Amino acid sequence: MVKVKEYMTKNVITVKKDDKVKDVIELFKKTKHKSFPVVENGKLVGIVSLVDIVGKDDNERVENVMTKRDDMVITHPDEDIMNVGRIMFRTGLSKLPVVDEKNNLVGLISNMDVIRSQIEKTTPKKLERIINTYKSLGYKLEVKKGKVEIHKLKPTQNKIHSDELIGRIYELKKGLAEPIIVIKKKNDDKYILLDGHHRAVAAYKLGIPELDAYIIYLDTDKKLGIERTAESLNLKTLRDIKIVEHDIENSENIFKKI
């Protein structure tokens, strides 16, 4: 069972009961969020949204316009994330506050986090499939989990899609991206990128210097078939990967929205 605490955002922006509507409006402008939990002494007492403050006096207290705790849908850190996803689907809510047994606010879970939790489950299967492939080819290998520097990645995929790239950028900003999968050959200081091209490009665009990775160490210095394919596509760095947009817009526009 995948639990809510594995994917929730822990650093949550909150407001207080005594804050004014005008304070919340400024917070909406600064953060672009659509709602904020209302917390007093660490305890969740309500939530205030854009809908709650429309038409209200600027000096009205948050306590008088918020949805109170007893009327809210909440969840807990050890809850099954798929159950939470079903609740969101039925209620139409995009985010739920996460509280502990004493009603302390400990996080926030979004529908994107739920989707993300299911995408990540595929990585171990991919890794196992890749390992078995190289073993069947007669290679001796060792697998370790570590970090790899972005500038040392050698891509093997010549294009990625802009819509998925947006998702990977979102994940990286929230610290939720799963590890990429790379090959490290003997006597080569670079890493051959097998899986995670969208994540790698997202990290490059965000200026993130390194990513978590499953590193497959191959006991060979011979050129691999996948390397020859990359060379035929003129792939040397992440900058050589094309970003394909489904709506045929200028690819640079995608980053103005993030």
Q: Which of 65, 64, 70, 40 is nearest to 52 (CA)?
A: 65
Name, in order, each residue with C-beta under 8 angstroms of 17's C-beta and a sequence gap of 6 or more.
38, 40, 45, 46, 61, 62, 63, 66
Q: How confident is the model at residue 245 (pLDDT cuts 50, 70, 90)?
A: confident
Is 74 a residue whose pLDDT tops 90? Answer: yes
Residue 119 pLDDT: 60
Residue 117 pLDDT: 74
Is 105 a residue whose pLDDT tops 50? Answer: yes
Tell me the average pLDDT across 39-56. Answer: 95
Residue 129 pLDDT: 87
User: pTM score, two decimals?
Assistant: 0.55
257 or 91, which is more confident: 91
Q: Give exposure, 64-86, as e/b (b: 16+ Cβ within 10 Å).
A: ebbbebeebebbbbebebeebbe
pLDDT digits (tens, 9 = 90+) for 183-237: 999 999 999 999 999 999 999 999 999 999 999 999 999 989 899 989 989 999 9
Domain architecture of the chain: domains with CATH: 4-117 (3.10.580.10), 122-257 (3.90.1530.10)
Q: What percent of the chain has pLDDT over 70?
A: 92
pLDDT digits (tens, 9 = 90+) for 136-180: 888 999 999 999 999 999 999 999 988 788 888 988 887 777 899
CA pseudo-torsion sign 211, 169, 115, 30: positive
Tokens of 25: 């409006």
Residue with tokens 């191959």: 218
